[in-house]
Amino acid sequence: MNKFTGNFILVIIYAFAIQPFFLLRRWRDLIFVFLFYVTGYRKEVVWENLKNSFPDKSDDELKRIQRSYYIHLSNLIIETLAFFRLNSKNMLKRVNFKNPELLSELYANKKNIVLVMGHYGMWEWMLVMPKIMKHTGVVIYKPMNDKFFNEFFKKKRIKYGGYAFSMRETLRGLITLSRKDSPWLAAFVADQTPTANEINFWVKFLNQDTPVFLGPEKIAKRFDAAVVYAEMMPKDKNKYDVTFTLIAEESVDTSEGEITVNFNKMLENTINKAPEYWLWSHRRWKHKHLKDKKK
């Protein structure tokens, strides 16, 4: 995309982003109607994922979750727009970190942290974390194909402080940061789907054999970092509570796959509390385990 076109699109985006939340929620209602009723955006994917994940739930229950998910998906769109304009003070009024003292204790022990979370709640708003912790913040991201918007979003991801490393830059970037005195915290959205040639580990997740990345676990062990799970639970009117849970303080002492399995169990527990807030339109199970292919 050329710079002129990209800037024109940004003007349109910001025209929406500057609107207060009560107006953005009006747009959310229209977006919901468009996604759920007009286009039926990935409805078949969402339904299949829900059916396979919750075999004991009735169709009526699943339909309720499906509809609630599309409301949440519409909220994600307006919350992404709001993210562009919210300063850290306003963001911290919407994201309540319930136990930041866990991070402070690990900082006092000079421990680097690998923070793992899922596509649950509004994970992008977790980027405000540099304002509530002493660690040097690092966000790990998957580059976009479009160079213009890749650079735009990279800058936005660090507007509250810290660094942004692409997945390929992660190891080299963390090695550089580790030479400094201040411990770092690297945040991973760790429930993404590996490509077919990257699959080398499976877990049982939401009643299905699921391929997962071992990357966050390997990074943690490489630097003997503590591993912390972040649960982001929605409240009302575009607000969230975040609770941190220690998965492993001494990651080098864990067995292979232990951290990854425990993270997925914690994420599954979060999803079971309120299923509609996970990213169900993602094709999470497009790769089938070899034993399933033989059936």
Q: What is the mean pLDDT of the chain?
A: 94
Structure tokens at 11: 């003007």
- What's 202's DSSP letter? E
Query: In the chain, what is the straight-line distance between the N-terminal and C-terminal CA atoms, in Å?
Result: 45
Per-residue pLDDT tens over the stretch 107-140: 999 999 999 999 999 999 999 999 999 999 999 9
Please check the confidence at residue 290 and state whether its pLDDT lies above 70: no
Burial of residue 71, with CB atoms counted within 10 A of its CB: 0-12 exposed, 13-18 middle, 19 or more buried:
middle
Residue 19, strand partner residues: none
What does the H/E/C string look like for 171-187?
HHHHHHHHCCCCCEEEE
Kindly provide the b/e burial profile for residues 151-187, where b requires at least 16 CB atoms within 10 angstroms of the residue's own CB.
Answer: ebbbeebebbebbbbeeeebeebbeebeeeeebbbbb
34-38: average pLDDT: 97
Which of 138, 156, 19 lies closest to 84, judged by CA?
156
- What's 120's DSSP letter? B
Please check the confidence at residue 292 and state whether its pLDDT lies above 70: no
- Which has more pLDDT, 82 or 10? 82
Please check the confidence at residue 295 and state whether its pLDDT lies above 70: no
* Amino acid making up residue 266: M
For residue 291, what pLDDT band results from cuts at 50, 70 and 90? low
* Amino acid making up residue 223: F
Which of 71, 133, 29, 132 lies closest to 277, judged by CA?
71
**CA 47 to each of CA 40, 50, 73, 165, 225: distance values in angstroms, whole numbers, following the listed order:** 11, 5, 15, 34, 38
Domain boundaries, the chain: 3-83, 94-277
How far apart, in whole angstroms, are the C-alpha atoms of residue 46 and residue 21?
Answer: 27
Q: Is 0.95 topped by the overall pTM?
A: no
DSSP class per residue in 228-241: EEEEEEE-SSS-EE
For residue 236, what pLDDT band results from cuts at 50, 70 and 90? confident
